[in-house]
Structure 1
Amino acid sequence: MNSSRIYSSEIRKPLGFFSVSLDGTFVDCSFHLLQFTTYSAASLVGKSIRNVFTPETAQWIEQAIEQSAPTARGLLITQNGVKIDITCEITREEQSIRFTYAERVEIPKSVLSEEWSLMSKVVSHDLREPLRKILLYIDMIRGNTQNVITPDSRMLLQVTNDLSYQAMQLLDAIQLYISFAHATRRTLRPVNLNEVLNKSWHKVQEENGLSAQILTATKLPVVWGHSDTLQALFYQLLDNAVKFSSPERPLQIAIETSETEQNMVQIRVQDNGLGFDPAYQTDVFQLFKQLNRNTAGCGAGLAISQKIVESHRGNIQAQTQIGEGTTITLTLPEASKVQLN
């Protein structure tokens, strides 16, 4: 059952999990669910979900299984009438499906607006202003010919200058992350990804002096989205591919697309760069998560990319091997296949 409540924003309060086999019988569950039923853990195993949940909830779970969706939202209604408004993360295992559920808690829109407006102000002005003055004073010291600067002092000035610019880059990344994570919801419109890619790649080329032959791409689809933010998304992904290219071989970036069964389209951005340990394929989407501090960047690119994709009702994943490159897979709603409300 889909919940009819619409939130301006929400947080997730972890509650529990349950696993069911492909035919809809229980395999396992957490204590949280047991306390709302008349079953013990041992007696619940093998029971049909229709014997434990109301028909309404059982049908909702069956539909979530059939749709092969990674997440589902609705009301978990137990046999004794307890109702919990939840979000389920669905994990598909070989012979069963695991629902990890969390309660959705509404955050008042007015509170969010005030807090993030203040945060944006602090980042854009209050934190930048001291750095601007530091950089200004460094230039003044260097430019004053009457100052006698020893080699050691000159080196310290350069280090201070470099660290200040790094701090500026971090503030830029934070402000960009905030803008995409808490931007006002806009109506999604059909966007031609070929045009988006061309503009993003042109910018990356100009900034890095790259050859056009580095990038190969199949014809991309039209998706529901925002042209400006999708340009920012592809810029982040292409810029990452350049930053983490391998010194042992010429950089190559390939972009391919394929349809899914759910009126979505997958876009794969593959490079032959450094790659990273597959154990960190999820961690790389954390803000400022740097796996290689010897390369350029502050660890914000994929975190920003994730927020953009989520705002487009899609998802993003990373696949990689050390020394073999990285593939970023985007899943977005295809405009020619699905109408969004």
Structure 2
Amino acid sequence: MSDNRALTRRAEPKRTIGGEITSTFLIVSVIPLVLGALVLGWLALSVQAQDEAEKEELLATQGAALLAGRITRMTDEISSVAQVRQYQDLPRGEQQGALSELLAFVPSLERVSVVNGRGSEVTAVSSNEVLTDSDLDEVETLPVYREAMRTGQSAWALDSTSARVPALLLAVPILDASTGKPAAVVLGRSDLQPLRELLQVTTQGTGQNAFIVNSAGEIVLHDTYGTVQTTNVPDSALETGLHRNRDGSWVVAGTAPFGQSTLVVEEDALSTLSTSLLSIGAIAALALLAMALGIWQRARLSRRIVTPIERLAETADVLGRGEMSARAQPADTRELDVLAATFNEMAQSQQEDRRRLEATNRELELSNQNLQQFATVASHDLQEPLRTIITYLDLIEVDYDLPDGMSEDFAVVSASARRMRALIADLLTYSRLGAASEPEQFDTEALVRETVEDLAPVIRMTETAVIIGMLPPARGVASRVRRVFQNLLDNAIKYRAPERPLVIEVSGYDRGDGWVEYEVTDNGQGIAGSQHENAFRVFGRIDRKTEGTGIGLAICRRVVESCGGQIQIISPPQGAEHGTTFRFTLPSATGRDDE
């Protein structure tokens, strides 16, 4: 059974030294190196991205200030003319003439109008067309108009509602001379070309793009194209830093507020962060180089450590197959060379031990043959006189009428002679158990039932109840195993308890590990724990008052152990005086479940 457990342990998958070296190399060098490279690369990339984003933000702030200054100059120009002329007090015809002069004074204006305090345009002129009264609008809800009327200050906004062509709306209040409050508003509409030119100046020669995003997420002014881009720009793109732009590419962006809108300056991340990316590539190349060196070192260690050990294992396997002359080869390293030398010393010692063992086995085999021959001859020479003595004792007892005292003496002599004959028979049986026999599969249940039938007379006479449970088949010499059950049943009957009916139960089960376990349990006198081992010895009788040769249980042990099994005595929990259980194992007829 211990051999089976050892085979099971050897069958379990084991880690190899080469695998351990690889794992150690990965844990100690490769993984930290790769992680360190990634961390350093990411830190370098993050630092450069932050620096570049701050530069973009500074450029966006400068651009926003430049655009705001241009718008302020435009509103100042409109305000200076409007305040001097007091448009709200002029007749309508003069208002149109004055507005035309204003268009000429501020060339970027496309349309200009005078809006009264109720939000209605009273006069309007355009640089592109002649306007009529039907072209006048109600602008009371226009944010720039409302702000100019509320604050008395000029207001402006980027407008993207007219044919998707963005424009700049300017609202300049005209203050009442007597009250100082806004009496009307000069509302001007200008194209964004001047602002676009300023954006282009801001990013000229830098490879950057600049654009303005309104509160609706629309790009209303771009340094490259002039139409409104309706693509919604996410809020994340309106923050300074590294992020994806509208087409999914990575950019470094800087932002600055521009009125109700946001001015964004961005640059392609690949070109901006090229230095960090090159650094990451260099670190990755160094990591790969270190990994290649590590793999080479691992192979070198494998050749110097694993290969000698594998050769040593192969030599051990050859020794295990019986080729005792095999020896391990010297190794390159001192430690493994010492191991090989120690292994060779062990192999030499094992070879010498095996030679001595073989010589001893030959001597024992010859001795066993002599003993078996002696036992056979001795048993024959002893049985023949005993048969003659028993025969004459039986004849004398039958043919002669012996006195009472002499009759008892004859009975004692006859019983002693018969016990001697039984003892010689058991000794002969015990000696013959050492002879090899071919194991076979047998039906244990049928074998036990036949044994019970053989013992039927004594079973009936002693009123013994024999219960036969499930008994799986086994492998062995059936005649010898039958003797085991016979001896155990006979032993239970001999040592029955007089105060209760004897019950014997025979059971067993297949353990699934290649062995069948059987039990013979009785409720007889029991065997004290101190006598369990003595019970299996030759002549190891427990109760000298009970008839027997003292060899029956020794025969049981020899039969079971010759099959590779084990036998033991188990006392019940309530005490040995309540009975005995004999438990023994035999090879299963079906073998292991996993075979």
- Provide TM-score, normalisation by structure 2: 0.38
Say yes or no: does 1:113 pair with 2:369.
Answer: yes
Say yes or no: does 1:196 pair with 2:447.
Answer: yes
The structure with the largest alpha-carbon Rg is: 2
Q: Distance in 2 between matches of 1:282 and 1:262?
A: 26
What's 1:332 paired with?
A: 586
| TM-fit CA distance, 1:213 | 7.6
4+ residue stretches of structure 1 with deviation over 4 A?
54-57, 77-80, 84-87, 210-213
Structure 1 segments unaligned to the other structure (5+ residues): 3-53, 61-76, 88-102
Indicate if the aligned counterparts of 2:492 and 2:524 stay in contact, CA closer than 8 A: yes
- Which of the numbers 158, 162, 171 marks the counterpart of 2:424? 171
More strand by share: 1
| TM-fit CA distance, 1:211 | 8.6
What's 1:26 paired with?
A: none
Indicate if the aligned counterparts of 1:177 and 1:304 stay in contact, CA closer than 8 A: yes
Q: How does 1:309-328 map to 2 (within 5 A)?
A: 309-320=560-571, 321-328=575-582
Cα deviation 1:218-268 (Å, max 9, x = unaligned): 211111112222211111111111111111111111122234363212111
Cα deviation 1:188-207 (Å, max 9, x = unaligned): 12111111111111112234
Indicate if the aligned counterparts of 2:472 and 2:510 stay in contact, CA closer than 8 A: no
Q: Distance in 1 between matches of 2:350 and 2:458?
A: 54
Which AA in structure 2 matches 1:252? Answer: V
What's 2:350 paired with?
A: 83
Q: Distance in 2 between matches of 1:285 and 1:332?
A: 18
What's 2:492 paired with?
A: 241
- Provide TM-score, normalisation by structure 1: 0.64
SS of residue matched to 2:589: coil
Indicate if the aligned counterparts of 1:236 and 1:301 stay in contact, CA closer than 8 A: yes
Which AA in structure 1 matches 2:585? Answer: T
Q: RMSD in angstroms over aligned alpha carbons? A: 3.1
Q: Distance in 1 between matches of 2:489 and 2:421?
A: 22
Which AA in structure 2 matches 1:325? Answer: G
Cα deviation 1:138-175 (Å, max 9, x = unaligned): 23433454xx7443323222221121111112112111
What's 1:272 paired with?
A: 523
Q: Distance in 1 between matches of 2:397 and 2:515?
A: 56
SS of residue matched to 2:569: strand
| TM-fit CA distance, 1:84 | 7.6
Indicate if the aligned counterparts of 2:372 and 2:432 stay in contact, CA closer than 8 A: no
What's 1:152 paired with?
A: 405
Q: Distance in 1 between matches of 2:464 and 2:458?
A: 16
SS of residue matched to 2:390: helix
Q: Distance in 1 between matches of 2:446 and 2:465?
A: 18
Say yes or no: does 1:301 pair with 2:552.
Answer: yes
What's 2:140 paired with?
A: none
What's 1:220 paired with?
A: 471
Q: Distance in 2 between matches of 1:86 and 1:315?
A: 28
Q: How does 1:98-109 map to 2 (within 5 A)?
A: 105-108=360-363, 109=365
Cα deviation 1:263-309 (Å, max 9, x = unaligned): 21211111100012111111111112111112232221111111111
Q: 1:149 to 1:237 in 2, by over 3 A?
A: closer
Q: 1:160 to 1:253 in 2, by over 3 A?
A: same
Indicate if the aligned counterparts of 2:464 and 2:501 stay in contact, CA closer than 8 A: no
Say yes or no: does 1:209 pair with 2:463.
Answer: no
What's 1:18 paired with?
A: none
Which AA in structure 2 matches 1:197? Answer: V
Structure 2 segments unaligned to the other structure (5+ residues): 4-311, 321-341
SS of residue matched to 1:313: coil
Q: 1:280 to 1:79 in 2, by over 3 A?
A: farther
Q: 1:211 to 1:276 in 2, by over 3 A?
A: closer
Q: Distance in 2 between matches of 1:248 and 1:112?
A: 46
| TM-fit CA distance, 1:118 | 2.5
Identity of aligned residues (%): 24
